[in-house]
């Protein structure tokens, strides 16, 4: 079984209800076990079209035997079930966003999947919730702990 950390976000509709529904879908999956969920934080959109609503962001730790690509497909299925449609602007508004942040200590570089997640090291809205549930988890690229990465982002604003 792999230990995986997911980023959770929503900025359309009832954001909290959307994230709770995403977590319920993860819990209902027979090959996924949700081990921990961070608190949720309100954050301004990072990029994307101007005028978007604020995001509600958090992180979850799961255990699964799904391979990264299969887990990505499951996350996308959950997003679609919650109303996310394709074809919108990059970093545009969405009712649910599930990102694979870390998958054990694996490094994946495929056209549709990069692990660790590309924004992991720079995004406060990813690192702060992740540090709540996995402060000692390590970025397999830099070797730094999530606590160290979060401290660096907090110091730089």
Is residue 123 annotated as a catalytic residue, yes or no?
no
Element (H, E) at 41: strand 41-43
Catalytic residue among 15, 97, 121, 139: 97
Nearest partner of 34 among 5, 68, 75, judged by Cα: 5
Nearest partner of 58 among 92, 15, 93, judged by Cα: 15
Catalytic residue among 15, 99, 121, 123: 99
Is residue 94 annotated as a catalytic residue, yes or no?
yes
Catalytic residue among 14, 77, 84, 139: 84
Catalytic residue among 94, 121, 123, 139: 94
Is residue 147 annotated as a catalytic residue, yes or no?
no
Is residue 90 annotated as a catalytic residue, yes or no?
no
Nearest partner of 35 among 68, 2, 74, 72, judged by Cα: 2
Element (H, E) at 97: strand 97-103
- Residue identified by tokens 């660096």 is 152
Catalytic residues: 84, 94, 97, 99
């Amino acid at each position: 079984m792999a230990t995986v950390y997911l980023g959770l976000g929503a900025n359309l509709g009832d954001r909290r209800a959307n994230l709770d529904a995403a977590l319920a879908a993860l819990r209902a999956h027979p090959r996924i076990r949700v081990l921990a969920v961070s608190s949720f934080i309100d954050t301004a959109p990072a990029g994307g079209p101007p005028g978007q609503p604020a995001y509600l962001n958090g992180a979850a730790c799961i255990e699964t035997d799904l391979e990264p690509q299969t887990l990505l497909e499951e996350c996308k299925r959950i997003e679609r079930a919650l109303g996310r449609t394709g074809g919108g602007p990059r970093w545009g508004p969405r009712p649910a966003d599930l990102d694979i942040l870390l998958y054990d200590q694996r490094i994946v570089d495929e056209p549709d999947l990069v692990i660790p997640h590309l924004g992991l090291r720079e995004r406060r809205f990813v690192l702060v919730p992740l540090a709540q549930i996995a402060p000692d988890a390590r970025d397999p690229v830099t070797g730094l702990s999530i606590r160290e990465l979060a401290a660096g982002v907090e110091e730089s604003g």
